[in-house]
Amino acid sequence: MPQVPIIMPQLGESIAEAAIINYLVKPGDTIEAGQDLIEVETNKATMTVTAPCTGRVTNFSAQLNESYIVGAVLGQIEATAEEAARLGFDEAPPVKPVDPDQDPDHLPEIISGSRVEPTVRGLPVPANAVGASYISPRLKARMHELGLSAADLAGIAGSGAAGRVTVQDFEKFMVHLEHQKTSQASSMRVAVADAMRRSWTRPLATVGLPVTLDPLLTHRKTRDPKPGPALYALRALALALSENSAPAGRLVGSKIVLPSSIDVGFAVEAEDGVLVPVLRGADKKPLAELVVRYNELVELARQRKLPGDATGGSVATVTNFGTFGLVWATPIPLPEQTIVLGMGAGRRMPHWDEAKGQFVPVMEAYLTLSFDHRVLDGGAAGRLLQRIAALMQKPEAL
């Protein structure tokens, strides 16, 4: 009779795996569709895996107290031809049970009915390329030997359970790369890639709002040297954080570490990467004092000659993506930071003037604030951004 797999379901939006803690039935038992079969434990709760159909439990291939990723085959049900056809497994071959002594890279694959056909063609990567969501010790050792991370395998279509990338998949991928045109990544590019990979392990979000630049631009004309728009934003951010430094706190375990000094970095494009010089105590020094040091650090960064005391240890970063003609972007905070403030390109836009009762042209740009959602919620991020925008409307106070 046809065999239908018992598959680890998606037990929650952010849950990738669960541990088997109890079997509620035993092999040979007759079960009904929807009946609880296995008790599992996630990092959030204890849940159950239910039967996909009516039939007889053939075996449980998963081991107690072991964790299995979403989509892993946990056992088999002997079902009627009608039940198997309903689920699309009428023509699929049976799945072999897990052998505990088997190479972990050769776990059984999920059965997929032969009647199921893909509906989307020409995808940039294969539809089953889930990447290295689980990496066996053997594969980890091989990757470590070559200096690779899980992110490097994101586009590989695995042939293991639930699309898992096996050692054989990995070696085929490496052989394929040998026949492609490649260039050596610079040390800066590798460092930026590593920082962004670590940053992306957190839940990130972005809020944004438009800000009128006319007061800032008028003030700028009276200054010598002239501050850049990003420096106005940096100073406004520093003052806002001096009023309430909680948004710049970092979550470490169950504690939020608050900054002892408002040191703010700013992104400078350098050859093949980005450097982030830091203005120390940016809340303590007026704009007129900061501008000289700011311009000096920009030049040193472009020459890649930043002094040690001007790098690292900042609580936030400001990036002016408007210099590339971009109106909106979602920058990523550095791994050691919770927030990054972005500034888009200024554009002449119509603005309703209540006093005149008509639209008037203003120079407007978008500010964005990307943040670690574990530390900040949307409301707190929005209030911080509103405060920054308000401070930028009074540049003489910066």
Domain ranges of the chain: 3-106, 201-397
Per-residue pLDDT of 206-220, as tens digits, reads 999 999 999 999 999
- pTM for this entry: 0.62
Task: Give the number of other CB atoms < 10 A from CB of residue 377.
Answer: 11
> Considering only the top CATH level, what class is 201-397?
alpha beta
DSSP string, 142-183: HHHHHT--GGGGTT----SGGGPPPHHHHHHHHHHHHTS---
Give the C-alpha distances (Å, rounded to integers) separating 255 from 94, 250, 374, 375: 50, 8, 11, 10
Residue 94 CA to residue 100 CA, distance in Å, equals 18
* pLDDT for the residue numbered 155: 66
CB count within 10 Å of CB 353 equals 11
Length of the chain measured in residues: 398
pLDDT at position 13: 52
Query: What pLDDT score does 153 carry?
Result: 72
Give phi and psi for 32, each to the nearest 5: -105, 155
Distance between CA atoms of residues 109 and 69, nearest Å: 12
Which pLDDT value is given to residue 99? 47
**C-alpha span between 277 and 301 (Å, rounded):** 7
Taking only the tens of pLDDT, the chain with its 398 residues reads: 789 999 888 776 556 778 899 999 999 999 998 899 999 887 656 788 999 899 999 999 999 988 888 888 899 999 988 888 877 775 444 444 444 444 444 444 433 333 333 333 343 444 444 444 557 788 888 888 887 877 777 667 677 765 677 888 888 888 888 888 878 777 777 777 778 878 888 899 999 999 999 999 999 999 999 999 999 999 999 999 999 999 999 888 888 899 999 999 999 988 777 889 999 999 999 999 999 999 999 999 888 888 888 888 899 999 999 999 999 999 999 988 999 999 999 999 999 889 999 999 999 999 999 999 999 999 999 999 999 999 999 999 99
Q: What is the pLDDT of residue 281?
A: 95
Encode pLDDT of 283-309 as tens digits. 999 999 999 999 999 999 888 888 888
What CATH class has 3-106? mainly beta
